[in-house]
Structure 1
Amino acid sequence: MIDRDTTAWRQGSLLKSEELHHLQIEDADKFAAIVISHDCDIPSDAEGYIELIVCRQLEKEDKTCCNARNVRKLHLPYEVNGQQIYFELSFQKRVVLERAVFDRDFTKPNESYDLSDASKRVLKQWLAVRYGRPAYPNAFENRLRVNVSRREILERKLAKLVEAKVANLVGIWVDLDTDKDVELPPKDPYFLKMYLVYHTDGDLEAARIETETLACEITDLFNGVYTSEENQIVLEECKAVADTSFTLVDIMRTDQWRIEHISLSANDDSFISTGG
């Protein structure tokens, strides 16, 4: 029985390596398993199951998969003996165990690995994004797939621009105003506002300049592509905004656009559209 007052299990807890064989994991040096059930659900008798994700240890993290940027994969850091070790989480590796089985097979978390409060917030955000990301009108999605060259659509070109400068980005928030849920006919344009929110906890000046440059590149891309009278997306505003200036009101009236998670590999099946 998992006792509410004494259990050490928390969301983000790693299973002990010597107990991973219960999940048919034999190579404990390369793989791990992370509890993703909510803290309150773990000891609750009303919850019949515990959810985990089997993950692999990384030699080096991919910045595009950090900070919940990638909706399919998360590179999550743990601290071990003063060093950061990254694990790759994927929803495709999710495991659901009956509570009784979990309680029987796993004694307590691996206390050698520490998940910081900041990293746990990232984990929570990534788990929420899976089901909470916005959906856009099909007409809007289709217009994003207009060709910018013989081999490339705008959506992928946009992803490339973002990926080149993703290290300084907190995220991208967009506003379609009243047309967010409207399937517009070809001759009616979508009016789009885009806010590129950058980190201020590092080299502030460099982050600002790089993000402003990205805003100009995105503006030029949209203005160069949408030139006909039909199937237009009018980029009314594209601006760089410091994370300290992007308010709760701004967040509530916009949607986070998950453009930065788009894979650039033609052979990678993790490619999904902007709206999910």
Structure 2
Amino acid sequence: MEWPRETVWRQGRFLSQDDVREAVSGDCLENATGAIVASQDCDIAASPEVEPVVEFVLCQSIVKCDGNKLNAKNPRCIHLPLETPEGEFVEIDTRQRIFVPKETLIGFQPCDKLQVSDFHVRVFQKWLALRYKRSAFPDAFNNRLGKGRLNITKAVAPTASSIEAVLFDLGDDFKTEITDPDEVYSLSITLVFNEEIQEDAEQHAEEARTKIEDTLTNRFLDQDTGAWEGIELCEVSIISVNAITVAEAESLLRFDLDELSFKEELPVSTFEHPPATMD
């Protein structure tokens, strides 16, 4: 049977647990409850001579989600809500990828029990891109931030579902290794909240802002001398996802909950302005 260009397979559709085990083999399938299509629609529709396989990412059903893994906040793992009455979620790990030949996939249908909304398919797309396009900060900055990174994560965690992104601005030092202990990194933080997901998102962002200001001030400001040590927190601001401009977003660096350092590469913003409608 030839691969039909008008295939039922699209990015964001799922292969069931039984079909995954029939289509491929390997130890990685032990905990998988299905797999979600990662390939782009045009690549899926292309003939097997041009694109011979469809890429999937294995997923695992979970009862409770982690807010820090919603909305593509973590570049290695994402939690997506399923469209089920029970409000279930799936956990998807970008390192758990499989490739199914189209001649094998032609005998299967998408799983009706595993579906996500169009909006969350777009979130999934953004998350896939983060694997290859995300901010990395100077080693010296990361070393100085130290446990402050965890402090920021803890401050955001209770309101994580309301906050679309945490953006950093290091000014001209975004790729500079500052070695002089008397010099500081000047840090401004922007919390992007999404009131279309939660009505009180702005209030939650305000709460996170206060926690971040308090914890980083306590960590880096010498109360006796009034001097900042290592990092100077210039500002923590909040803004709606519907108010931030593309230019503003592209000028800032996304602080991922799993970010790494860099030595030579130029960090780029991974924040993308989401669509105006959320459904």
TM-aligned CA deviation for residue 207 of structure 1: 2.5
2:166 is paired with a residue whose SS is strand
2:119 is paired with a residue whose SS is helix
Distance 1:41 1:226 in 2: 50
Say if 2:64 is the partner of 1:71: no
Residue among 212, 218, 226 paired with 2:212:
218
Say if 2:88 is the partner of 1:85: yes
Distance 1:209 1:238 in 2: 14
Distance 1:63 1:224 in 2: 26
TM-aligned CA deviation for residue 14 of structure 1: 0.9
Normalising to structure 2: TM-score of the pair? Answer: 0.80
2:14 is paired with a residue whose SS is coil
Say if 2:233 is the partner of 1:238: no
Give the conservation status (yes or no) of the 8 Å contact 1:2–1:42: no
Residue among 50, 66, 73 paired with 1:62:
66
TM-aligned CA deviation for residue 238 of structure 1: 0.5
2:68 is paired with a residue whose SS is helix
Normalising to structure 1: TM-score of the pair? Answer: 0.80
Distance 1:209 1:115 in 2: 28
Distance 1:89 1:274 in 2: 24
Distance 1:130 1:79 in 2: 25
Give the conservation status (yes or no) of the 8 Å contact 2:138–2:175: yes
1:64 is paired with a residue whose SS is helix
Cα 1:166–1:102 change in 2 (3 A) is: same
Give the conservation status (yes or no) of the 8 Å contact 1:50–1:96: yes
Partner of 2:153 in structure 1? Answer: 159
Deviations 1:146-205 (A, max 9, x none): xxxxxxx2221221111122132111111112211111222321111111111212554x
Residue among 15, 38, 41 paired with 2:40:
38
Give the conservation status (yes or no) of the 8 Å contact 2:67–2:157: no
Cα 1:168–1:102 change in 2 (3 A) is: same
Give the conservation status (yes or no) of the 8 Å contact 1:188–1:230: no
Where structure 1 has 5 or more consecutive residues not aligned to the other structure, the ranges are: 146-152, 263-271
Distance 2:152 2:18 in 1: 45
Give the conservation status (yes or no) of the 8 Å contact 1:257–1:274: no
Partner of 2:116 in structure 1? Answer: 115
Cα 1:222–1:16 change in 2 (3 A) is: closer
Distance 2:41 2:197 in 1: 32
> What percentage of residue pairs aligned between the two structures are identical?
26
Distance 2:177 2:69 in 1: 32
Q: Write the mapping of 1:9-48 to structure 2, written as runs, cut at 5 A.
A: 9-22=9-22, 23-24=24-25, 31-45=33-47, 46-48=50-52
Distance 2:206 2:64 in 1: 29
Give the conservation status (yes or no) of the 8 Å contact 2:166–2:190: yes
2:45 is paired with a residue whose SS is coil
Partner of 2:129 in structure 1? Answer: 128
